Copies of this chain bind each other. A is one copy, B any other.
Amino acid sequence: MPDSYNRIAGQNAERLAALSDGVFAVAMTLLVLNLRAPAVEAIHSEADLWTATGALAPRLLMYMLSFMTLGIFWVGQQTQLNYLARSDRSLSWIHLVFLFAVSMMPFSTSLLAQFTAYRLPLLIYWANILLIGIVLYASWVCALGSGLVKEDLAPQVSAAIKRRILIAQALYALGALLCVVNTYWSIGFILLVELNYALAPRLPGRRR
C-alpha cells in the first residue's frame, strides 16, 4: 500500500532542482549575516572604523570559504541532476538530506568564524562537508541503481562524478587532519583545495 504512493511521489527532477537552487541561494546569502557592522557607540573616528572593520577580515575569509564550499557542491549536484531523466521518491529524500547538510553551513561557518583557534568548530565544519559529500555520492549511486539517469550516459561520466567526490573528500579529510598541528593550517589547506577546484578549469592549456 505505501508502495503505490512511493511510485507516484517525488518524480519531478525540475522541482528538486528548484528547491535546491532556493536552499543554496538562501544559505549562501545568510552567510553574510556573520558580517555585522561595528556598533555605532564604539566608533569615534575614521581610524576606529578602519580598526573595527579590519577586525572583520577573518569572518570575511570564512564567508568566502563557505561560499566557495557551497559553490563547489552546487556545481556537483547540478552536474548529477543534469544527467537525470527523472527522479523518484528515494532520490528526492537523499537530496533532501543533502539540502539539510547544505542548510547547516551557515551555522558551521559562524561557529568556525567565532572560534577559529579551537579544534571542535573545525571538526564540525569538516563533518558538515563530509556529510554533504557522502550524501552526494549516495545520490549518484541511488540514481544509477534505480535507473533514473539518462539513457545516453557515457560510463566515463559516471566514473568522473564518483572520482571527483572521492578525491575532494580525501583532500578535505587531509585538511581536517592538519588541525593536529593547528586549525589555521587546516583552514589554509582547505582554502587552497577549494581555490584549486574553483580556478583550475580556467588555467590556460587545460581547457578543451
Q: Which residues of A contact B (CB under 8 A)?
A: 1-6, 8-12, 15, 17-19, 21-33, 35-37, 40, 43, 46, 49-50, 53, 64, 67-68, 71, 74-76, 78-79, 81-82, 88-90, 92-93, 96, 99-100, 103-104, 106-107, 110-111, 114-115, 118-121, 124, 142, 146, 156-157, 160-161, 163-164, 198-202, 206-207
Contact = CB atoms under 8 A, between A and B. Distances in A.
- Interface of A (DSSP majority class): helix
22 contacts: A2-B201, A4-B156, A4-B160, A8-B160, A9-B79, A15-B78, A21-B22, A22-B26, A26-B29, A26-B30, A28-B99, A29-B103, A30-B32, A32-B104, A37-B114, A40-B115, A43-B115, A46-B118, A67-B100, A67-B103, A93-B199, A96-B198
B89 A75 contact: yes
A6 B2 CA distance: 37
